[in-house]
Structure 1
Amino acid sequence: MNRRIRYKSHSAIQALVLCIWMCLALISIPGMASAHAELERSEPEANVKYEQSPKSVELSFNESIEAKVGAIEVLDSKSRPVTSVTAQASKDHRSLILPLPSLGEGVYTVSYSVISEDGHPVSGSYVFIVGNPREGVDAATFDPHKELGHEGHSATTQLTTGQFIIYAARIVYYGSLLWAAGLMLWPLLTRGRGKLLPDLQRKWEQIALRTLLVGILVYIFVHAREILTGYPRDEYSKLFLQTNIGREWIALLVLVLLGFIIVRFPAVLKTIWALLILAIESWSGHAAVFAPKTASVMFDFVHLAAAAIWVGGLILLGLLWLADRKEAGRFAVLFSSAALLSLALLILSGIGMTLLFLPSLHYLFYTAWGTILLVKTGFVLLVLIVGGILHLRVRRGNLPTTVLLRADAALMALIILSAALFTYISPLPANEPVVYHKMGDTMHLSLRITPNKPGDNQFIVKVWLPDAVGAPKSVTMRLFALDQKELGPIQVPIKLFEDTEITTFDGYVKAAYKAEGPFVPFAGRWQAEIRVLDKDDNEQVQKVEFRNY
């Protein structure tokens, strides 16, 4: 029995030794031992600007990769894939090729994720540029002081107490604009309808124009003073003659004065006047900033025209209701149909502008602009309900009720109020530079990213190590898109530079690194990973989260 046990133990030992020998033999075979797959060449190249769109993305690795597992994705500046085509591997399985559609001007991100034949995952990301892309829009775009070359003031994205007067003036102006334009549009729609209506329209057109003139003058006075606070008086001529906003104010004033003459002419000229003054308003504010500009301005124009028809028609219906109920009933048939069509256009054009202004609907919850828009949307839905009930009543031959008219008028006032408030609040939150500093026993580190927006930024990393350790052997920086964790990291090519800032700490030696480029290709939440290696190959890692819009 003991002999049999010793025999089995001896056999087990021999088998174990044989397995170890075979493993060592396999490891020692030439070509079997290698590092993980690494990216050797990329086309288009990382951080390079191209005049024309590349025809494809080709990534070449230092060893074979799994042909059916590798993937490449190319994202535009809004982090949307530019193609749904699947990348194909080359014959030697060392390259992945992804055909591209014709790319417009912009910053593009190439993200790759592959598995080498030895089973190790390899991923990464980099950016390249096509043409001369337009800078990303942020809240600073809406600062009127920039047109004057002033840097002492800054735009705000929130409604504050100090802005109460200017927004009150804006409410008066916006309401009077829609009222006047609406009254001037309705004569063409009501031609030959009733005897009382034409006289009522002519009387209130004059009143509406006077109100609009006062509203514009008050608004220009208040807004111009707000812009030029702290600047000499001679800057006023520069504001009105050398800036877009000043020239738009002058054009509005000229058109309002012409309106007192136009009211005596046929309905067609009144309609043209109304459309012109709404078109000028459409070219100011947010619509003129966002691309494509033609679509943005057109959406805004349709939005204003639809609102003017609804506001003007509702005011006429109320005036007729007070003067002659039967005449009001006849007008209500036309108004109810026009109002429902106007509200439909309001909703569609509002959705179109929102999608153009915001990279994502999540941005509705980041600013006062989004909050007020959501409130306004709620009011519009209530108007649809009231308008639907009104439309059903008049179709059945019944007169509108006083309650319905008052509800519609109250909602109209609330919508004008909310629209006037958020017209000059930025749809986008203001981006703020990343300023980070951390003190430690073994390392001090600071990070600056300016201006911290999608597109070109400056990256500055400063590292302080103890004198006994000495200057860092190497410092590297990578960016991770936290909203799209499947994307590989983007390498930021920071390099040593001579820092002239007086930022010294006793007992520590400083090293400063800098890079500039479009390494933040789209808006979102990001994480900067900084790896510091000292001369003894000891590594310290610092991670900093930030976001931009």
Structure 2
Amino acid sequence: MSAPLTRRPGLDRLDRRDRGRRALGRLLVALAAAAYAVLLSISPAQAHATLIGTDPEEGAVLEVAPETITFTFDEAVTLPPAGVTVYDAKGEEVTSEATASGTSMEVALANPSSLGDGTYVVAWRAVSADGHPISGSLTFAVGAPSLSVAPPPSTEPSKATAAIHGFLQFIQYAALLLVVGLVWFRAVIVGDHRVPDRATARVQRLQIVAGMVAVLALVFLAPASGALQSESGPGAMLTFDAWSPASVGKEWLSALVGILGIAATLVLRPRPRLAAAAGLFAIMSPALVGHSRAVVPAWLVTATDIVHLIAGALWLGGLVGLALTLPLITRRGTVAAEIVTRFSTLAAVSLAVLAASGVLMGWRILGSWDNLLNSTYGTLLMTKVALVVAVAVMAAGNRLLVLPRVRQAVGHDDTVEAGSMLRRAVLMEAGVLVVVLGVTGFLVDQPPQADTASAGTGTATVAPTSTQAAKLGDDHRVYATMTPAGPGPNVLRLQIQDAAGEPVEASAVPSAKLSSGDVDLGSLALTTVGAGTWEADVVLPKGGTWEATVGLRLGEFESPLALLELPVRQ
């Protein structure tokens, strides 16, 4: 009687390890799916937010200070830390508290009754629901406008923060597409073909490194997004606000989906087909925030973005996987030729999918030729398209010239030489694709709207002014302010003060004439805007020095004149 068959302990350990890997992989996928569902439940924005109204209106002159200042946007916005600051005409901060709810942002003044007469500037920053910061300023006056207004501190976005964020986006895309693409290379391109263990080990080592790099990029992208949204310097990435889920909650959820997907992919890497399925969660994480979730219909653009990423991962992973594997399978003529042919077909399909999905996303996100031709987003997109066309031409050349030589190679020397040619060509393609991903990293940080000077879509600042003063008679002074002090439409504001520096209560409107050299605009139509304060709309045909002649009847026999020279930029 023969002895019963028994399993070796080593095989039992391998089985238990494999079952453990699959169980852990399934758990990670389930957690990724849960995070994905939570993120999808957050309502997408409809577009990049634009300021559509304020109360009080820009330039309004009020009798008393308002208790609340309201900004209305066409889409929902959120407030970053210290997003709103109110300044008086001297540039000193006025105590206030700002809140945002939906499409409305309100600024409550702490003690409006204590505010004196003059001009006030509300400098604001908000974050559009597509993740891009928007900012501007609102100017209004209480009693009478101030003759000179100190501009608020600059709120220009930090170029260093934007560069760091763009670089992290590039690293995220490159590492993420590589780790998932290499899994799909093994599952789809290599498939059931037997390749040397050394080739598999090479691919898996790079996959692990790429996965670790992708996780680090995803972790640091969240605080970088927080610093970018608050228009702060790189140091803000180390603050609690930048890391807080209250500030960048959607970014953290997106990162969690990616990290869990990467972890599941690496855990299941001995089983390429299971790992390939898990890789779907990792590859979709960048599409869960940004422009894809801010365009109607969001489901279509988000799905298209995911397909775009899948095609890119297949192409990049196939190129890099082929470059790692080719030197070890070149002598296996049939196997090498079949793997190369399968990759060539898949690359052609990926290119077609990339082109179609890219056109659809560009059309939905940009929405007009003006946005394409007159925005930084459009410029970078056209650069990306040019690079993709270049790599497509390279791929076509390889398919027509190099692949036939690989298939037809006979003998050791001919086979090795053909394999070397293909490997160099593949590395060149992969290099250009990495540059494409670099452009993409900075592309996704740009708003798709055309670059304009509109206060509703960008940073608005206090308009430049030209202010001069002159003596008017024995006891009065006249102040003249030209805004914005450049060629074209301007507003001339006059204020006449008594010896105590208070605006006069004049019984008549002063006279004012404006001239520059041989250009004489004649008498101006002044409108009373406050105590002792008048304005007139003028159109200056040129820059240079303009002379304002101001007269005021102070009595039956007293009508003094004052001459003021107002410099206007060319």
Q: Output the TM-score relative to the length of structure 2.
A: 0.49
Where structure 1 has 5 or more consecutive residues not aligned to the other structure, the ranges are 1-76, 79-106, 108-131, 147-151, 448-460, 472-495, 513-549
Provide the residue aligned with 1:167 in structure 2: 166
Are residues 245 and 462 of structure 1, via their aligned partners in 2, closer, same or farther at CA, if it must alter by over 3 Å? farther
Would the aligned equivalents of 1:166 and 1:219 in 2 still touch at CA under 8 Å?
no
1:307 aligns with 2:305: no
Provide the residue aligned with 1:251 in structure 2: 257
User: Shift of residue 349 of structure 1?
Assistant: 1.2
Provide the residue aligned with 2:446 in structure 1: 425
Measured in 2, the distance between the counterparts of 1:240 and 1:259 equals 29
Measured in 2, the distance between the counterparts of 1:385 and 1:177 equals 25
1:220 aligns with 2:226: no
Q: Give, as a single letter, the amino acid of the residue that structure 1 aligns with 2:168.
A: A
Provide the residue aligned with 1:359 in structure 2: 367
**Cα distance per residue 1:37-93 (max 9 Å; x no partner):** xxxxxxxxxxxxxxxxxxxxxxxxxxxxxxxxxxxxxxxx99xxxxxxxxxxxxxxx
- Larger CA deviation: 239-248 vs 395-404: 395-404
Provide the residue aligned with 1:188 in structure 2: 187
1:509 aligns with 2:534: yes
SS state at 1:509 partner? strand
Measured in 2, the distance between the counterparts of 1:435 and 1:508 equals 20
User: Shift of residue 302 of structure 1?
Assistant: 1.2
Measured in 2, the distance between the counterparts of 1:335 and 1:139 equals 47
Q: Give, as a single letter, the amino acid of the residue that structure 2 aligns with 1:509.
A: W
- Larger CA deviation: 372-381 vs 205-214: 205-214
Provide the residue aligned with 1:333 in structure 2: 341
Q: Give, as a single letter, the amino acid of the residue that structure 2 aligns with 1:374.
A: M
Provide the residue aligned with 2:294 in structure 1: 289
Are residues 232 and 420 of structure 1, via their aligned partners in 2, closer, same or farther at CA, if it must alter by over 3 Å? closer
User: Shift of residue 195 of structure 1?
Assistant: 1.1
Provide the residue aligned with 2:380 in structure 1: 372
SS state at 2:244 partner? helix
Where structure 2 has 5 or more consecutive residues not aligned to the other structure, the ranges are 1-45, 53-72, 78-102, 104-124, 135-152, 228-234, 409-417, 452-456, 469-479, 485-490, 497-505, 511-526, 538-570
User: Shift of residue 308 of structure 1?
Assistant: 0.3
Measured in 1, the distance between the counterparts of 2:395 and 2:320 equals 14
Measured in 2, the distance between the counterparts of 1:225 and 1:160 equals 12
User: Shift of residue 197 of structure 1?
Assistant: 6.8
User: Shift of residue 205 of structure 1?
Assistant: 3.2
Provide the residue aligned with 1:239 in structure 2: 245
SS state at 1:243 partner? helix
Measured in 1, the distance between the counterparts of 2:323 and 2:205 equals 17
**Cα distance per residue 1:329-368 (max 9 Å; x no partner):** 3322111111111111111211111111213223234343
User: Shift of residue 210 of structure 1?
Assistant: 3.2
User: Shift of residue 232 of structure 1?
Assistant: 8.3
Measured in 1, the distance between the counterparts of 2:259 and 2:494 equals 61
Measured in 2, the distance between the counterparts of 1:426 and 1:235 equals 23
RMSD (Å) for aligned C-alpha atoms: 4.6
SS state at 1:264 partner? coil
Are residues 380 and 197 of structure 1, via their aligned partners in 2, closer, same or farther at CA, if it must alter by over 3 Å? farther
Measured in 2, the distance between the counterparts of 1:285 and 1:153 equals 26
Are residues 233 and 410 of structure 1, via their aligned partners in 2, closer, same or farther at CA, if it must alter by over 3 Å? closer
Aligned pair partner of 2:400 in 368, 392, 395: 392
SS state at 1:299 partner? helix
Are residues 135 and 463 of structure 1, via their aligned partners in 2, closer, same or farther at CA, if it must alter by over 3 Å? farther
**Cα distance per residue 1:469-526 (max 9 Å; x no partner):** 649xxxxxxxxxxxxxxxxxxxxxxxx9998xxxx7xx533699xxxxxxxxxxxxxx
Would the aligned equivalents of 2:156 and 2:459 in 1 still touch at CA under 8 Å?
no
1:208 aligns with 2:235: no
SS state at 1:414 partner? helix
Provide the residue aligned with 1:414 in structure 2: 435
User: Shift of residue 381 of structure 1?
Assistant: 0.8
Measured in 1, the distance between the counterparts of 2:347 and 2:282 equals 21
Are residues 308 and 231 of structure 1, via their aligned partners in 2, closer, same or farther at CA, if it must alter by over 3 Å? closer
Q: Give, as a single letter, the amino acid of the residue that structure 2 aligns with 1:259.
A: T
Are residues 225 and 375 of structure 1, via their aligned partners in 2, closer, same or farther at CA, if it must alter by over 3 Å? closer
SS state at 1:308 partner? helix
SS state at 1:346 partner? helix
Q: Percent sequence identity over matched residues? A: 17
Are residues 140 and 230 of structure 1, via their aligned partners in 2, closer, same or farther at CA, if it must alter by over 3 Å? closer
Measured in 1, the distance between the counterparts of 2:337 and 2:166 equals 36
Provide the residue aligned with 1:49 in structure 2: none
Would the aligned equivalents of 1:140 and 1:154 in 2 still touch at CA under 8 Å?
no
Measured in 2, the distance between the counterparts of 1:219 and 1:310 equals 22
Measured in 2, the distance between the counterparts of 1:143 and 1:510 equals 41
Q: How many residues align?
A: 337
1:324 aligns with 2:329: yes
Measured in 2, the distance between the counterparts of 1:469 and 1:497 equals 10
Measured in 1, the distance between the counterparts of 2:203 and 2:252 equals 29
